[in-house]
Amino acid sequence: MGTAAGGAAAPPAAAATLSAPAAMVQPPQKRLGRGRLAVDLTLLGIVGAVLVAAVPAAWGVIEREFYSPAAFIERYVGLLADGKAAEALAVPGVTVSSTELEAAGLPATADGALLRSAALGPVDDARVVSEEQDGDITRVTVEYDARGSARTTTFDVERNGSVGPAPTWRFATSPLAVMNLEVSGSMEFTVNGFTIDKRQVSPDGADADPLAPVPLLVFSPGLYSVSVDTPIASTPGVAVLSDRPFHAIQVPVQAKATDKFVSVVQEKVEEFLTECTTQEVLQPTACPFGYFVQDRIASLPKWSITQQPTVSVAPDGAGWKILPADAVAHIDVDIRSLFNGRVRPVSEDVPFTVTGTITVLPDGKASIVVTGPDTQ
């Protein structure tokens, strides 16, 4: 094969083709037409308008759910349902002063002993059923179940400022009520299982009148069971529904003597009467029985009880009383006649009636005084 001039060999044609850089082939650019651009801008405008319109609507939903008077009340009754008494008391407008109580005609000395979780009696299935505007006041009505009975309570709510764009609320009238609890027969009672002594909540302290009503603040709505359960007195639970805010509820509770207490009184009465029989006189001192004669006695009288009384106990003011009960004593004595000096033996039953008073002392013990028609 021949060579090029100068002796250098010419490169093959295939090698020259492989060493050349590859050319980039791009598709032709499409120009956006004016019609398509207008459509896109219109769609963006519509989306923007929808978003702008949705903001107030979404805020309205949020406000109703979290910042409305109904939401405010739902939070309050929810705290009661969860047993959170301290948090419920912290809700704006719940707590009241003695001045406000007095201005509303309620006892200014009403005690807050029941405003605690241990004494809460929440109702079931509480829910807001209506919301009405009356000037600056919004009346929110809640429906709930109170031991199988559908009941309602209406609250007055007013604006209490705002946090940013969100309104805040408070009770225009406190949801608390006053339970005027008049317990006869016991200084101690329980409310929803929480024990209270009248002397602890009375402004008179240890000098509290046992018959005076005890004013106690309670939540509304609330279901309270009042009972007495002491060694001396008891009573079945009395159900009290607090369903009217800032109103007084009169609650009379009459305790009855327990069987154990009556048994103790029975024993003490029998002991007392037996002790009376040790007196060898016709008229035992401070005893409900005796024997009258016109003549003289020739021997010391011997007494015995042939029939003990069956004791019944009933409340009597601040204490208790032994109801009149029949009993029989027996006397054996020799009587000397003043007329002729003869001695005759006497062996007779002497019917008598037992009564008495029972005073419950501050330490819980009972002072029993047995009397009769002729010994009072």
Q: What is the pLDDT of residues 251-272, one digit of tens each?
A: 999 999 999 999 999 999 999 9
Q: pLDDT value at position 317?
A: 77
Inform me whether the pLDDT recorded for 90 exceeds 70.
yes
With beta carbons less than 8 A apart as the criterion, state whether 320 and 277 touch.
Answer: no
- Structure confidence at residue 11 as a pLDDT band (50, 70, 90): very low
Euclidean distance between CA atoms 201 and 183, whole angstroms: 13
Q: Which of 161, 166, 177, 173 is nearest to 110 (CA)?
A: 177
Average pLDDT, the chain: 85
**% the chain with pLDDT above 90:** 66
pLDDT reading at 41 higher than 70: no
Condensed to tens digits (0 to 9), the pLDDT of residues 312-357 reads 999 887 789 999 999 999 999 999 988 888 999 999 999 999 999 9
pLDDT at 15: 39
pLDDT in tens, 281-298: 999 999 999 999 988 989
Tell whether the model's pLDDT for residue 228 goes beyond 50: yes
Average pLDDT over residues 41-51: 58
Q: Please state the length of the chain.
A: 376
3-state secondary structure the chain: CCCCHHHCCCCCHHHHHHCCCCCCCCCCCCCCCHHHHHHHHHHHHHHHHHHHHHHHHHHHHHHHHHHCHHHHHHHHHHHHHCCCHHHHHCCCCCCCCHHHHHHCCCCCCCECCCCCHHHCCCCEEEEEEEEEEECCEEEEEEEEEECCEEEEEEEEEEEEEEECCEEEEEECCCCCEEEEEEEECCCEEEECCEEEEHHHHCCCHHHCCCCCCEEEEECCCEEEEEEEECCCEEEEEEEEEECCCCCEEEEEEECEECHHHHHHHHHHHHHHHHHHCCCCCCCCCCCCCCCCCCCEECCCCEEEEEECCCCCEEEECCEEEEEEEEEEEEEEEEEECCCCCCEEEEEEEEEEEEEEEEEECCCCCEEEEEECCCCC
Q: How far, in Å, CA of 357 to CA of 169, rounded?
A: 57
Give the rounded percent of residues in the chain with a pLDDT score beyond 70. Answer: 81
| Whether the Cβ atoms of residue 265 and residue 308 lie closer than 8 Å to each other | no
Residue ranges covered by each domain of the chain: 69-256, 259-371
Match 């082939």 to its residue by tokens: 25
